[in-house]
Amino acid sequence: MTLDKRRDYNVDLAFPGDRFQVIWKDVNPEEPHESAEDLKAARFNRLEGAYFAGGAFWFDDTIGGEARLGQIFRYLPASNTLELFYEGTDPGKMESPDNIVVTPWGDLWFAEDETIDDGDTINRVMGITPDGQVYPFARNRLNDSEFAGPTFAPDGKTFFVNFQNPGITFAIWGPFKQRDTKRQTQMSVAAPPEAMAPKVSGELAEAAAQHGMSPLEAAAYDRLGVKLA
């Protein structure tokens, strides 16, 4: 994909809330990476998990973001837009998101790659609510294996997740919250956490208005070194 008005754009430099209009391009399937570069496609670091629910296609970049702690994006087919929803700034809340799933009640859960904390390996399943609150659901204290493949049974009452090594699948029964399709939809359109938004100076906000762009778009250009003011 390419992003309107930002050809050859490195999405690693986006801010939570940054929204892009998507332009789809066909690439050579034999050399997709090189072909995408030639087409000036949007660039990510290392894409991992993906899941569709509530009208949004969610995916993550396990080492994306300024702190290299990971990013979670959502693509909205109805408007053909891509948005950065969450970026890791605190390893206590996110570090190296991998496989992801939207819960039956509308939270987003992600399994992390191995995280090192004071020399100890930590492997977690973390959750994010529609209002941007992050919380831990599970932590592996048995071995150094990371969680993988989180998913729910069709009735929403059983949560399945794997230990990558030695290859064990766990079935976890709640009680979990009741299925809430409205909340799943709410998650697909929820505003990213306000605290993660960039600080926009009055000068930059004035320049944004002069150039007919949003403050977030102006902040993204400013972050790339493009001076608007």
- For 69-125, the DSSP string reads S-EEEEEETTTTEEEEEEE---TTT-SSEEEEEE-TTS-EEEEEPPEEETTEEE-EE
Regarding whether 211 and 185 lie in a shared domain, the answer is no
Regarding whether 56 and 86 lie in a shared domain, the answer is yes
Regarding whether 191 and 119 lie in a shared domain, the answer is yes
Mean pLDDT of 43-47: 86
Confidence check: pLDDT of 76 > 60 = yes
Residue closest to 87 by CA, chosen among 107, 110, 106, 64: 64
Mean pLDDT of 163-185: 89
Q: What percent of the chain has pLDDT over 90?
A: 31
Regarding whether 184 and 116 lie in a shared domain, the answer is yes
Regarding whether 135 and 81 lie in a shared domain, the answer is yes
Q: For the ranges 15-29, 73-87, 151-165, which has the lowest average pLDDT? A: 15-29
Higher pLDDT, 141 or 195: 141
Give me the residue label for tokens 């659901």: 137
Regarding whether 225 and 129 lie in a shared domain, the answer is no
Regarding whether 155 and 118 lie in a shared domain, the answer is yes
Confidence check: pLDDT of 174 > 90 = no
For residue 209, what are the domain limits?
198-229
Q: What is the mean pLDDT of the chain?
A: 83
Query: Into how many domains does the chain fold?
Result: 2
Regarding whether 213 and 125 lie in a shared domain, the answer is no
